[in-house]
A and B are shown apart, each in its own frame.
Chain A
Amino acid sequence: MGNFLPAAPAEREAQYAALGLSGPADLYRDVPEAVRLDGPLDLPAPKSELEVRRSMEALAGQNVRFSTILRGAGAYDHYIPAAVSRIAAKEEFVTAYTPYQAEISQGVLQSIFEFQTMICELTGLDAANASVYDGASAAAEAVAMCRDRKRTKAVVSGAAHPDVIATIQTYCFGSGMEVVLAPAREGRTDLTGLLDDGVACVYVQQPNFYGLLEDGAALADQAHAAGAKLIAGVNPATLGVLEAPGAWGADIAVGEGQPLGLPLSWGGPYLGFMAASQPLMRKLPGRIVGQTADAQGRRAFVLTMQAREQHIRREKASSNVCSNEALCALTASVYLSLMGPAGLMQVGEQCYAKAHYLADELCKLQGVKLRYPGPFFHEFVTDLPDPTDVLAGLEAKGILGGFPLKGGLLWCVTEKQTREELDRTVAIVKEVLGIWN
Chain B
Amino acid sequence: MELIFERSRPGRGSQILPPPDVPAAPIPAEHARKRAPRLPEIGESDLSRHYQALARRAFGVCDGFYPLGSCTMKYNPKLGEEMAALPGFTGIHPLQPAHTVKGCQLAMAQTEYALSRITGMDRFTLQPAAGAHGEFTGLLLIKAWHRSRGDEGRTVILVPDSAHGTNPASAAMAGFTVKNIPSTAEGLVDLEALRAACGPDTAGLMLTNPNTVGLFERDILEITKIVHDAGGLVYYDGANLNAIMGVARPGDMGFDVCHLNLHKTFATPHGGGGPGSGPVGCKEFLAPFLPGSALGGNGGEQSIGQVRAFHANFLVVVRALAYLMTLGNSGPAEAARGAVLNANYLKKKLEEAGYRSAFPGLCMHEFVLTLEGLKKEAGVSALDVAKAMLDAGIHPPTMYFPLIVHEALMFEPTETEAPETLDRAAEVLSEILRRAHEDPESLHAAPVSTVIGRPDETAAARHPVVRYVFPEG
Contact = CB atoms under 8 A, between A and B. Distances in A.
Interface string A314-330: 11110111111111101
Given A19-B345, A106-B57, A175-B175, 12 more contacts: A37-B249, A46-B331, A56-B86, A75-B93, A90-B55, A103-B454, A263-B90, A263-B91, A268-B310, A326-B275, A327-B271, A339-B13
Nearest to A168: B305
A73 to B, nearest CB: 6
A95 B62 contact: yes
B25 A163 contact: no
A213 B28 CA distance: 10
Interface in B433-467: 447, 450-457, 459-461, 464-467
Contacts of B93: 66, 69, 71, 75, 77, 264, 266, 400
A333 B334 CA distance: 40
Contacts of B130: 133, 321-324
B136 interface: yes
A116 interface: yes
Given A46-B330, A56-B322, A87-B51, A106 B129 contact: no
B47 A342 contact: no
A65 B88 contact: yes
A36 B247 contact: yes
B385 interface: no
B269 interface: yes
A87 B48 contact: yes
Given A128-B466, A264-B94, A290-B464, A107 B55 contact: yes
B92 A101 contact: no
Nearest to A175: B175
Contact of A31 (B50, B76, B244): B244
A427 interface: no
Contact of B466 (A281, A295, A350): A281
Interface string B332-347: 1111011011101100
A55 B325 contact: yes
A315 B172 contact: yes
A134 interface: yes
Contacts of B430: none
A66 B96 contact: yes
Interface string B164-205: 111011111111001000000000000000000000000000
A15 B218 contact: no
Contact of A62 (B61, B103, B390): B103
Interface in A292-337: 292-296, 298-302, 304-307, 309-317, 319-328, 330, 333-334, 336-337
A370 B20 CA distance: 24
Contact of A170 (B1, B68, B74, B140): B140
B16 A239 contact: no
Interface in A70-116: 71, 73-75, 77, 79, 81, 83, 85, 87, 89-108, 110-114, 116
A187 to B, nearest CB: 15
A302 B143 CA distance: 37
Given A314-B168, A339-B39, A349-B20, A170 B104 contact: no
A153 interface: no
B21 A163 contact: no
User: Shortest 6 CB-CB distances between A and B: which pairs?
Assistant: A60-B88, A267-B310, A327-B271, A46-B328, A267-B94, A326-B273
Nearest to B389: A101
19 contacts: A29-B362, A30-B215, A30-B216, A45-B329, A55-B325, A56-B318, A56-B322, A71-B95, A87-B48, A97-B272, A110-B54, A167-B307, A266-B310, A295-B454, A310-B166, A328-B275, A330-B272, A341-B37, A356-B25
B331 A98 contact: no
B156 to A, nearest CB: 11
B88 A63 contact: yes
B22 to A, nearest CB: 4
B328 A47 contact: yes
Of A3, A36, A75, A116, most buried by chain B (CB within 10 Å of CB) is A3
Interface string A237-261: 0011111100100000000100000
Contacts of B35: 244, 247
B272 to A, nearest CB: 4
Interface centre among A289, A317, A338 (most CB of B within 10 A): A338
A134 B309 contact: yes
A60 B465 contact: no
A311 to B, nearest CB: 4
A319 B379 CA distance: 35
A368 interface: no
B428 interface: no
Contacts of B71: 97
Interface string B19-53: 01111110110011111111111101001101111
Contacts of B12: 340
Contacts of A53: 79, 82-83
A32 to B, nearest CB: 6
A294 B452 contact: yes
B316 interface: yes
B285 interface: no
B51 A341 contact: no
Nearest to A420: B21
A7 B418 contact: yes
B328 A4 contact: no
B44 A338 contact: yes
A15 B345 contact: yes
B305 A96 contact: no
A418 B42 CA distance: 27
Contact of B468 (A112, A117, A240): A117
A279 interface: no
Contacts of A169: 305
A315 B338 contact: no
Interface string B398-419: 0101000000000000011111
B279 interface: no
B22 A135 contact: no
A345 interface: yes
Of A5, A71, A310, A400, chain B has the most CB atoms within 10 Å of the CB of A5
Contacts of B32: 241-243
B111 to A, nearest CB: 11
A298 B452 contact: yes
Nearest to B391: A103
B249 A35 contact: yes
Contacts of B353: none
Residue of B55, B415, B450 ringed by the most chain A CB atoms within 10 A: B55
Given A350-B20, A352-B27, A3 B331 contact: yes
B151 to A, nearest CB: 16
A384 interface: no
A263 B88 CA distance: 11
A101 B386 contact: yes
Given A44-B329, A315-B169, A264 B91 contact: yes
A26 B335 CA distance: 16
B232 interface: no
Nearest to A347: B17
Contact of B92 (A266, A327, A403): A266
Contact of B330 (A45, A96, A128): A45
A340 B41 contact: yes
A323 B452 contact: no
A135 B267 contact: no
Contacts of A45: 328-330
Nearest to B344: A19
Contacts of B387: 103
B92 A6 contact: no
Nearest to B103: A62
B31 A310 contact: no
Nearest to A130: B273
A403 B97 CA distance: 10
B309 A256 contact: yes
B218 A321 contact: no
Which has the most chain A C-beta neighbours within 10 Å: B79, B307, B345?
A: B307
Contacts of B267: 4
Nearest to B170: A320
